[in-house]
Amino acid sequence: MAYRILRTAKALEKCIQSSYSRSSGSPVNLNNDLLRNPTFERFLASWRMFSEQKPPPEGFGKYAKGKENKDVPKKEEDTSKAPKEDKSDWNFGMFANTAKTGGKGPGGGSGRPIGGEGGGDKEKWMLFGAIGTVAFIGALAYMEMGYKEIGWKEFVTGYLNRHLVEKLEVVNKKWVRVKLLPGNSQDSSGVLWFNIGSVDSFERNLENAQAELGIEPVHYVPVIYKNEMEASSLTGLLPTLLIIGFLIFMMRRSAQMMGGPGGKKGGGLFGGVMNSTAKLINSNEIEVRFKDVAGCEEAKIEIMEFVNFLKNPQQYIDLGAKIPKGAMLTGPPGTGKTLLAKATAGEANVPFITVSGSEFLEMFVGVGPSRVRDMFAMARKQAPCILFIDEIDAVGRKRGGKSFGGHSEQENTLNQLLVEMDGFNTTTNVVVLAATNRVDILDKALLRPGRFDRQIFVPAPDIKGRASIFKVHLAGLKSNLDKNDLSRKMAALTPGFTGADIANVCNEAALIAARDSHDSIVLKHFEQAIERVIAGMEKKTNVLAPEEKKTVAHHEAGHAVAGWFLENADPLLKVSIIPRGKGLGYAQYLPKDQYLLSQEQLFDRMCMTLGGRVAEELFFKRITTGAQDDLKKVTDSAYAQIVRFGMNEKVGNVCFDTSQGDPMFTKPYSEETAQLIDNEVRALIKRAHVTTTELLTKHFDDVAKVAERLLKNEILSRDDMIELLGPRPFKEKSTYEEFVEGTGSFEEDTSLPEGLKNWNKEKEEKPKEKEDSDSGKPAAVA
């Protein structure tokens, strides 16, 4: 192996020398010419610049021994400004500085060096290692380039016969290095060497050669045996070294991923898994403020009070009040629970720590309790602070239900959470907020006072709240309409919508306007967006057969006419036979925000829902599957009236709650009662069917006119219905002003209590007055 390396190096040297000679036309001394080579001179200049004692690059001041980096300005603490570009050229451009945080991407993150934290140090040692490896290989190649291989015959005739050999060195019993007498180096190629088969044959051949040359034994050439490290030996060890290095790298890498040295804090193979994944939120990264949260003023005031307590605790302590340990945000999905938490993180000038409930549950046993302990330890260090646990139902479910042996990981995590929350005292100033829309499945021990003292219910907004939410979302949309009037009109058209639904409507309106290449959003786009959210996507390509289209037209006409002439039915806004979503047609009504429904109102709604099926029976003497959804709604309403609302004389004033399980297996009543309930439900639906049949028979011609106009125009508005049927014979409300009449004001009350006027500002403590030395008694006047 050694002679192959030497042969290759020698050939490369001759090639370089010959090319250099042809270019210059004269013999070349490679060593002197290499020093005068411009490329080599630039490399030496760079190396000298790197080796000089000068101020270290930015971020490497800690490596400078005995000197302070006075030339390098200190890094500003304001993270909102982009850091200046690091123009230091210590790494010769080999490693890109990815730690610059000049701009943040959509996720708000920033780059980091290759080595992660402390990556500059790692890159520096990587560079030194690479330079050292190259230097070592270069030194080996340079040393072996000075060797010249000769044969045995050339050695005997050219050197031994001429008495030029001083001694012979047998290296590793494989090859012989020829040492010539001083001053007798006739070849500038370097040291001479030749291979031997074995030491015995070499000694025998050398002795015979010297005897044939007539050399006396006393003057025989001395032979020295040596053992030296060769490049071939290193090559043989290379596979073993690579395997060992790979194993060490993988072990260190896995240890870093699992939290070992160089990874997350905690150490050990599983140290990182056991640590909490809670994140400390920087308020500068959160763009949501309390002014962006509308429609839930009561819940917002409750949250503001927590922040005010942390900022100005003396205001409450003077009265003997204690800060609540925690608050549970509950309510339907989309009402703004997490948005309130985001606004709190953006507004509060105290640390805000957030974590998801699902992050406590992992495949390893004991991870959940360990993460809970680590999270609360972090919160205590950051106190005063706010700790927010989103979707706490993932870890706070009721215990003892389906756990085998009572030792499930979820139960252990919940137990640790209960202990940590109850372990707080009033001086820690750590507030725990949590959010869930499934408060019914939470453990009672978690909701008791001392842990979550307050339960803040965030309901769906009323009409005033919806108007406030529309104002927030309309502020960023391009429209020439009066946004105040538009928000009121849209609030009246969207009963039952949550904040998430309203945000979706505004975004859909902008998308529809962009799809139609409009410069601004008009009222038509908002109406189409509401239809898109309520009924689904319009299917213009869904072509119906003439018979099916006629059936759908009469079905929807039956709904419209029945609702028009029923007093307690909701006002009709629009009816269409254009397929949307899963339905072949739909009728849009305008229900009012009503929290109490009478038996008559529920019955009229059942009749209106059965209008489509009755119209099919009257006009076609047959029924279709198009009334499936209507029949389901009617059946659910009838069962709710009898089983839950106590609106049946025979069953009585009872409420059977079947929402906790499958009613087929967990009926909270006897079979006799179940049979009675079924009979009464059928009787109620039959009575509604008879009433609807009588109503549509009376207005048979009106149904025909509405169906004929639907077949012609496909969409009928409220004005078209008034033209066909005349004004509705009952008083109804349709505008925002009519809906809010008698409620005290047209806008949502957003005023703050007196103690929260400056809720996010620290108040100066008033100096206490000095007490009179006479126990506070007034001094006598002379």
Distance, CA of 58 to CA of 98 (rounded, Å): 14
Distance, CA of 547 to CA of 334 (rounded, Å): 41
Distance, CA of 523 to CA of 481 (rounded, Å): 8
Reading across the β-sheet that carries 165-171, which strands appear in turn?
147-149, 191-195, 175-180, 165-171, 223-226
In a 3-state reduction of DSSP, which class is residue 725?
A: helix
ω before 384 within 30° of 0 (cis)?
yes
58 catalytic? Reply is no
Helices (H), 572-717: 599-609, 611-620, 628-639, 671-698, 700-713
72, 61 Cβ separation under 8 angstroms: yes
Give the contacts of 38 (CB within 8 A, at least 6 positions apart). none
Distance, CA of 596 to CA of 333 (rounded, Å): 22
Residue 523, token pair as written in the block = 């009222």
DSSP E strands, 51-96: none
Residue 101, token pair as written in the block = 């945080």
- 10 Å CB burial of residue 363 (0-12, 13-18, 19+) is exposed
- 10 Å CB burial of residue 470 (0-12, 13-18, 19+) is buried
103, 97 Cβ separation under 8 angstroms: no
DSSP label of 686: H
Residue 416, token pair as written in the block = 């640790």
Residue 382, token pair as written in the block = 């950051």
Distance, CA of 173 to CA of 383 (rounded, Å): 75
Residue 154, token pair as written in the block = 């050339």
- 10 Å CB burial of residue 744 (0-12, 13-18, 19+) is exposed
**Max CA pair span of the chain:** 146
Distance, CA of 758 to CA of 408 (rounded, Å): 47
In a 3-state reduction of DSSP, which class is residue 299?
A: helix
Look up tokens 């005292």; give the residue: 425
Reading across the β-sheet that carries 279-281, which strands appear in turn?
279-281, 352-356, 385-390, 430-436, 326-330, 454-457
- 10 Å CB burial of residue 530 (0-12, 13-18, 19+) is buried
Rounded to the nearest 5°, which phi and psi values hold at 330? -125, 165
Which entry of 305, 556, 680, 748 is annotated as an active-site residue?
Answer: 556
For residue 553, the cross-strand partners are none
654: left (phi over 0), alpha (psi -120 to 50) or beta: beta
Distance, CA of 353 to CA of 414 (rounded, Å): 19
Helices (H), 170-317: 199-212, 231-257, 271-274, 297-311, 314-317
Which of 693, 696, 651 shows the shortest CA–CA distance to 669?
651
DSSP label of 624: -
Measured CA to CA in angstroms, residue 394 lies from 370, 374, 404, 601, 701 at distances of 16, 18, 18, 39, 57
Look up tokens 């890159």; give the residue: 123
323, 311 Cβ separation under 8 angstroms: no
The DSSP-derived string for 413-473 is: HHHHHHHHHHT--TTS-EEEEEEES-GGGB-HHHHSTTTS-EEEE-----HHHHHHHHHHH
Active site residues: 556
